Structure 1
Amino acid sequence: MTWSDYLPAWPLQISPALWLALTLVVAVLLGEAMVRHLRLPRIVGYIGIGVVLGPGGLGFIPQLPVNEWRLVVDLALGILLFELGSKVNLRWLKANPWLAGTSLLEAITTFAVVFSVLVWVDVPSTAAAIVATIAIATSPAIIVRTVTESRAQGQVTDRLLLMTALNTIYAVIFHKLAVAVMHGQAGTSFVHTIFAPLYLLGGSALLAWLFGITFERIHHHLGQHEETFSFILFGMIAFATIMASTLRLSPILVLLAAGLITRYQRKHTRTFPPHFGSAGAVLVVLMFIANGLAADLRGLRDGFLLVLLLIAVRIMAKLLAVLPLATHSGIGWRQAVSLGIALVPMSSVALLLTMDTAIDFPEFAFGLGMVLMSWIVILELIGPVLVQVALRRAGETPEKKT
């Protein structure tokens, strides 16, 4: 052996994991700087550093295979979806049917406007429908994180959580139906076209129901032991997420429905540590960084005006659709405007649905998918700021309450 055998090979082969670990540290520091000096949400720093250091920016972190970071995103999103579901009381829809009407009107208007614009620019109707269903989704990750961070409470906050949960359900269900139609147009047999969405929706509902039963039984015995209960719940969420992926179900629907079911079975909401403790919080930060790393802005090169147009019409659709029924549902115009603005963000759910579509239809990935990815990245970055401003405008954050 020579002395060189004790030294690392040159040039150094640095693992992407090292860059990811360093990015986590920088992202947290940048997030804190955003809050202290600019009064902006931490999420902007988390996503922004991923965009800057990732393949779409300076390229310090190379393109990571989807299967290397998809599980992190699924787990973190599962935590936030269950957290969202556990805060939403579906009984409110029965007590105030105008809320259900507002939610449906907002989702239908968003779909119709985006679909019409895409058809107007000569996008095939089925592909336009897929994008329009994804556009319905309001980011549960950004909403839950921003509401938690800003400690917002009130009518607008409660409606925002409810409508975000419902928009996620609409987007996933109708996206799967639109994809099934596209498979049918591509020559897939009618039986397989119909069976796929039925299996996904039915299987996801069954897994969510089993999760809810197990959750309640464990909660009955360990409800007084907060730390132990949080650890077990975190493990259950991880198990449900992985099981849903293994069975080719929708982890998004499973975890959101599980949270809604467990909340529906209780008369009062259950308070958990934000993101179920430190481990969950780290996963959530990594998820936002991963979203930034996955950012693909190539769609702006050839479709800049289309991206801006889609962003503008979607914002207007969500804002204007909540106004007609505002007073009937029990809020004023000012609150309704704040709610409409807060419904704008897109993030992980839209990203995952876009990637799933691209896997099934590669031609979508290199065409309309790039436009959609650029659209998502922009609304990831400005979305948290819009939510924060809207909640402050509604007077539901501590610094604005009198």
Structure 2
Amino acid sequence: MTEFSMNISQMAWPCVVAAAWLLGDIVNRSLHLPRISVYALTGFALVNLFPTYLSPLDNHSLVLLANIAFGLMLFEFAYRINVRWLSLNPWIAITGLVEAGATFATVYCVALWYGSTQLMSLLLAALAMSSSPAAVIRVINEQRSSGQVSERILHLTAINTVLAVFVFKLILVYWTMQTPGDFLKASAQSLHVMLVACASVLAGTVFGILLPTILRWRGKQAQDATLGFAFAVILLVALSHASSLSPVLATLSFGLVARHRRISLGRTQRNFGVLGELLAVVLFVFAASTLAWTQVLAGVMLGSLLLVMRLGSKIVVTTLLAPASGISMRKGLLSGLGLAPVSVFLILNLEQTNSLGIATTNEWYALVAMTLILEIAGPILTQLALYLAKETPEEQEQ
């Protein structure tokens, strides 16, 4: 009986991933909803229904596959970022900074008003700043959208994601420095945070320089670029985890540098082809499966309030600053709406703070609830924004 139970456990995750893929395809064809929303909902529902056989964080192979998938999406996301465009139109960068700052301030004040501690209010505010690069790039690729709103969603997401990573780390360092007797420890941690960030960016930059050079040397850029980049991302993610670097900063840096080395992935290889499609299912199923139903129920009130304030802040800022950046206020509003998705990997960042005793607080539960709602509804809102902006092929033809 024990052997039979073990066999069921080994088969459980492949069956969940296959079921999520099938349901995602059916719902997308019938209701035209984003596949990744269905993947997330399937993963959350099945893991909470069968917790005995499905324990995502204990499955090291699944964690590795999810991290590789996340790395591939971050690379492709960064590959779409045009730094030169930000310099030509600095109001886009200003919008990103103001939007992230306004989100941080709003969520921080609301969390304090609700009775949260200063530490949790700061952490919630930092995590709320970021949109989900993985969800945004998947929806844009799935809809084959292009235009001003699509590009602004991409660039604003890049800005607030990088800011969220740095601010989150700095808050942990600041809090350690406030602890009596830990000044030397806090100083060492501050230096460590800076070194890790610099090393992560350096690693991605080195990969971004070396791989295009190798592809040029081989003389088969058009045929091998996508496969070469896929192998490089896998190696970079593995290196980041083995050396405790930030895979987010590393893969984003890799994509940015590779773009400016003039190597093209090619239209037929969006999402890294079949490999990317398969890993995308694993990623979004795994991400939502890390959330517990009891935690969602416990934090749904504060989570819903933070969700409204977070999205409202982004929409207000992008709408008001839209004319200065060269678009209408309507497109500015849609750009803010497209920033709705939030990544469940933000919750995984809080694993390093377990020593602070926050893993069972009401604020933690609120973050779980907000993340689940936006893992499912966020991609739908992004798709709606692109549709209303008439940047999908179907709308462009009308």
Shared fold, TM over 0.5: yes
* Aligned equivalent of 1:3: none
One of 371, 376, 388 as aligned partner of 2:366: 371
Which residue is 1:4 aligned to? none
Deviations 1:41-98 (A, max 9, x none): 11121111101100x3453743233562332221111000000111110111110011
- 1:40 and 2:33 aligned: yes
Structure 1 residues 39 and 61, CA gap change in structure 2 (3 angstroms): farther
TM-score in terms of structure 1 length: 0.92
| Deviations, residues 191-240 of structure 1 (Å, cap 9, x unaligned) | 22311211211111111111111122123234635443322221111111
After TM superposition, list the pairs within 5 Å mapping 1:277-296 onto structure 2.
277-296=273-292
By how many angstroms is 1:277 displaced? 2.5
Q: Secondary structure at the match of 1:307?
A: helix
Return the letter of the residue paired with 1:221: W
2:18 aligned partner:
25
Tell whether 2:310 aligns with 1:314.
yes
Structure 1 CA distance, aligned partners of 2:230 and 2:217?
A: 17
Matched AA of 1:322: T
Corresponding pairs, count: 391
Alpha-carbon distance change, 185 to 251 in structure 1, aligned in 2, over 3 angstroms: same
Give the counterpart letter for 1:214 in structure 2: L
Which of 192, 208, 212 is the equivalent residue of 2:204? 208
CA distance in 1: counterparts of 2:189 and 2:39, whole angstroms: 39
Aligned to 1:75: 68
Moved more, 29-38 or 290-299: 290-299
CA distance in 2, matches of 1:254, 1:380: 24
Q: In the alignment, does 2:57 pair up with 1:65? A: yes
Equivalent AA in structure 2 for residue 62 of structure 1: L
| Equivalent residue number for residue 391 of structure 2 | 396
Contact 1:84 1:144 in 2 (8 A): yes
Structure-2 change in CA distance of 1:114 and 1:322 (3 Å) = same
2:84 aligned to 81, 91, 95, which one? 91
The alpha-carbon distance between structure 1 residues 270 and 231, as it changes in their structure 2 partners (threshold 3 A), is closer
Q: Is the 8 A contact 2:299 2:367 kept in 1?
A: no
- Indicate conservation of the 8 Å contact 1:46/1:288, yes or no: yes
Structure in which a larger fraction of residues adopt helix = 2
Partners of 2:100 and 2:3 in 1: CA distance: 56
The residue number in structure 1 matching 2:339 is 343
Q: Which residue of 1 aligns with 2:233?
A: 237
SS in structure 2 of the partner of residue 345 of structure 1 = coil
Show CA shifts across 1:356-381 (max 9, x none): 434x53x1111122221221111101
- Within 5 Å, which residues of 2 pair with 1:213-362? 213-222=209-218, 224-266=220-262, 270-271=265-266, 273-358=269-354, 360-361=355-356
Q: Distance in 1 between matches of 2:232 and 2:299?
A: 42
- Aligned identity (percent) is 30
Q: Which runs of 5+ in 1 are unaligned?
A: 1-7
Q: SS at the partner of 1:48?
A: helix
What is the match of residue 375 of structure 2? Answer: 380
Single out whichever of 123-132 and 384-393 deviates more from structure 2.
123-132
CA contact (8 A) 1:137 1:349 kept: no
8 Å Cα contact 1:139-1:350 kept in structure 2: no
- The answer to whether structure 1 residue 171 and structure 2 residue 164 are counterparts is yes
Distance 1:83 1:191, change over 3 A: same
Q: Deviations over 1:319-362 (max 9, x none)?
A: 1011121011111122111111000111244233233434x53x
**What is the alpha-carbon distance in structure 2 between the residues aligned to residue 17 and residue 345 of structure 1?**
31
1:109-153 deviation per Cα after TM superposition (whole angstroms, max 9, x unaligned): 000000111111222222211111111110011101100100000
Structure 2 unmatched runs, 5+? none
- Superposed CA deviations along residues 157-190 of structure 1, whole A, max 9, x for unmatched, are 0111111111111111111111122233345423
| 1:270-296 C-alpha deviation (Å, 9 max, x unpaired) | 536122232232112101110121122
User: Are the structure 2 counterparts of residues 269 and 316 from structure 1 closer, same or farther at C-alpha, using a change threshold of 3 Å?
Assistant: farther
In 1, Cα distance between equivalents of 2:75 and 2:7: 36
Choose from 11, 25, 50 the match for 2:43.
50
The whole-number CA distance in structure 1 between the counterparts of 2:190 and 2:130 is 23
Query: Who is 1:103 aligned against?
Result: 96
